[in-house]
Structure 1
Amino acid sequence: MSLNTKPLSANEDWCLKRRVLIHCQYVFGIGHFVRTIELARSLSMHFEVSVVNGGEAVPNYDLPFGVDWIQMPAIYKEETAEELRSVDPIKSLEQCFAERDVILECTVRRIMPDVLITEHFPFGLLFESEVIRLIERVKIFNPHSKIVSSVRDVIESKNGGMHDDHICRLLNRYYNLVMVHGDENIVPFSVSFPKLSHIQVPVLHTGYVVQTIGQKPQKLDIPRVVASVGGGRLGGEMLDSILKSHRSIFEHWEHSLMIFVGAFQQIKDDLQSYADENSLSSVTILDFNRLRYQDALANASLAICMGGYNSVIEAVSAEVPVLTYQRKFYGNNQEQECRIQLFQKAGFVESFGSDELAPESISARVLAVLAKKRPTSHKIRMNGAEESCNMITSLFGNA
């Protein structure tokens, strides 16, 4: 199925009367947050946009001007834990959900949105009760509202999951559109959601929603390697291994190393202690900082990252060699593994696994990537925010 997604005109003043509410929730990394930010930034050029955020506040990350940002009591989840947890240790999980419910009801009453976008739901069901109540409230206050699912390129499994039938039922009952933020020529959605044909509403690939890394040439004394685990809590073992392999790589290839720890990690002091004790003067270890990371990446000679949505596509968009860490996740979550394998098949990245974290293995992989010829251009659709805006506009026709 398809929609008429003609480009927006700056003179379409009627769009300014439309109100968009985005529900955003993340529990590990910040991929959902980053996509929501870029989507909200683009939509705010044509709509009144509000975001209700249920994840932990992200440090050193500027929110888009003109977007109404509503922070709910934050909830997260440890990788190996079975239950959700309140970020505020004083509040119980039950208190968090109760307060969030009040905030969501008040927000819907105040905004009466024309469009509700649910980031990742219903493809992720951890917050099903909350989001279903939100959808039903939106429909009560604005029966003509449109409900849109915003989802990344890959779900959690290569072969689908046990809840896929339920997900299809929710989409067919409540939704008007599914926006898949990826390029079907690189990562077909059916790879991780094989019951795609069971969805009865339009499912459209927007291209990747990404803040493209601009080239800002700087005169560096020596080449730079940038290593990052993105914004989340996981992957500290990768940064530790890269740090410990630095001297060995430096003996064959003189370079500087910039390491960015995750937004919610507490490992910077340990990494810095190792660098100091081993006199690694060409190593810089930094807290998570979105703008500084982008500037570093724009001038990198090699990017080393995990397989998260934003980590991969931002590194690829910087047009530098990319080495990705194919980490094994608890519960057999294969999202990053699937993305890495498909991007590697297309020739955009190289990878190493959890069994290759020894410094000598990392050194060999880095030197091999640097010696390999890269594609001369990256033919990947990266206009996902703009296309999403066009798709949402088209839901209303010319009304």
Structure 2
Amino acid sequence: MFYYVQHLLGIGHLRRAELLCKEFSETGFSVTLVMGGRSFGKLNVGGTEIIRLPSLAVGSDGFHQLIDCNGSAVDEAWKCARSDQLCAAFEERSPNILITEAFPFGRRQMRFELNPLLEMAHSSKRRPLTVCSVRDILKSERKLGRAEETVDTISEFYDLVLVHGDPNFVRFENSFPLASKISDKIRYTGIVAPSRNIASNIIRTGGVLVSAGGGAVGQALFEAALGARAMSQFSDHPWRFLVGPNLEWGTFDALRRAAPNGVIVERYRDDFRSLLLSCDVSVSQAGYNTVADILIAGTPAVFVAFDGDRENEQPRRARILEELGRAESLMMSGLTPERLAIAIDRAVTKDVANLKFDLFGARASADILASAIA
């Protein structure tokens, strides 16, 4: 199996790929994970081989600009060299399964290397099963013809589309209206979440856990949380801020200086899922992986959805969870300490135990792929 993932801003795509590769490896697949984002900690991927392409990230102008590890904009020669490296790695391993994370529903910036990769796979003597791995809610496409182009790419090159969601929670066509045109290739896997056995010897400390995933766009959340503490019923409880690896160091230091007694500010913890089990309420953004972690932990939650730069994926997810009675939701653009404090106090009154979600997406993905190549 040859699994391609590229994280550009946050680490969500990488974290989902990590859980999937670990499951694939443990169920008997020989897995190669090819990644090209900035390095981030150690990945728990079992026996998976990891190939790191030259680093790419988005620049200050957003997703329209790609920069290398030195912060310089990449040119066509740089892209060609990386594309050649990717295709050479694929050719050397000759896998019977090729997986692209998000593409062609997302990561269009990576067409410079993914189009040649798909062409190579499609023309191989031993053509691999070609699979798209995609989350359940997509960012709405505003450019005319973009969705049709995605359908054409799926129809020409792909055998399966693994939609990592529970259709009883949200259906893929809700955010991709042309899903019916590729319905024969779509397989729902359930939500990709960590295993349920993460809670061993958890010491319950209570209080409020505030997190922002990778942290690239989390500054406003932490600043609001600092102000919300005194207004909340948890004002005399411990609060812990996990700011993420991508928050600027200057902002991190400023938060630490501003934090009063009872507020711990940390950059990252390997035991995030255990911390979820030990707190009274979680405050976070509404990215796919964070929501999955919270659902598996059963923690009362406030989701502060990132809605900047025309983003609507997180707002959709947060609103659905609020409508189901699972959480409180706020938008980052209208966030105030007062609103956050009210939402925190409301979140702990919800009966979260009555809601059930399919959280076995990694195992189902492995089963689907095993059956497809049997």
Fold match, TM over 0.5? yes
Two-structure CA RMSD over aligned residues (Å)? 2.1
Moved more, 128-137 or 148-157: 128-137
Give the alignment's TM-score, normalised by structure 1: 0.86
Counterpart secondary structure, 1:246: helix
Counterpart secondary structure, 1:77: strand
Q: Which runs of 5+ in 1 are unaligned?
A: 1-19
Say if 2:261 is the partner of 1:281.
Answer: yes
Aligned residue runs from structure 1 range 226-305, under 5 A: 226-249=209-232, 253-266=235-248, 267-275=251-259, 280-289=260-269, 291-305=270-284
Say if 2:179 is the partner of 1:196.
Answer: yes
How much does 1:27 deviate?
A: 1.2
Of residues 101, 104, 110, the one that matches 2:86 is 104
| Paired residue type of 1:351 | S
The 1:355–1:22 alpha-carbon spacing in structure 2 relative to 1, beyond 3 Å, is closer
Determine the structure 2 residue equivalent to 1:76.
57
Of residues 353, 368, 371, the one that matches 1:394 is 371
Determine the structure 2 residue equivalent to 1:363.
341
The 1:236–1:212 alpha-carbon spacing in structure 2 relative to 1, beyond 3 Å, is farther
Say if 2:164 is the partner of 1:181.
Answer: yes
How much does 1:47 deviate?
A: 1.1
Determine the structure 2 residue equivalent to 1:346.
324
How much does 1:217 deviate?
A: 5.3
Aligned residue runs from structure 1 range 1-399, under 5 A: 20-45=1-26, 46-59=28-41, 61-78=42-59, 80-81=61-62, 82-89=64-71, 92-124=74-106, 125-157=108-140, 162-199=145-182, 201-212=184-195, 214-216=198-200, 218-220=202-204, 223-249=206-232, 253-266=235-248, 267-275=251-259, 280-289=260-269, 291-330=270-309, 332-354=310-332, 356-370=334-348, 372-397=349-374
Q: Which runs of 5+ in 2 are unaligned?
A: none
> Residues of 2 paired with 1:230 and 1:50: CA distance?
25
Determine the structure 2 residue equivalent to 1:7.
none
Question: Retained in 1: the 8 A contact 2:83–2:112?
Answer: no
Counterpart secondary structure, 1:151: strand
Question: Retained in 2: the 8 A contact 1:158–1:334?
Answer: no
Moved more, 211-220 or 190-199: 211-220
Question: Retained in 2: the 8 A contact 1:156–1:334?
Answer: yes
How much does 1:361 deviate?
A: 2.3
The 1:211–1:366 alpha-carbon spacing in structure 2 relative to 1, beyond 3 Å, is same
Question: Retained in 2: the 8 A contact 1:30–1:232?
Answer: no
Question: Retained in 2: the 8 A contact 1:182–1:206?
Answer: yes
Question: Retained in 2: the 8 A contact 1:158–1:191?
Answer: no
Report % sequence identity: 25
Question: Retained in 2: the 8 A contact 1:28–1:232?
Answer: no
Moved more, 105-114 or 183-192: 105-114
> Residues of 1 paired with 2:319 and 2:102: CA distance?
22
| Paired residue type of 1:348 | R
Aligned pair count reads: 368
> Residues of 2 paired with 1:243 and 1:212: CA distance?
32
Give the alignment's TM-score, normalised by structure 2: 0.92
| Paired residue type of 2:331 | G
Question: Retained in 1: the 8 A contact 2:121–2:127?
Answer: no
Counterpart secondary structure, 2:154: helix
The 1:106–1:219 alpha-carbon spacing in structure 2 relative to 1, beyond 3 Å, is closer
**Which structure carries more relative contact order (alpha carbon 8 Å, separation 6+)?**
1
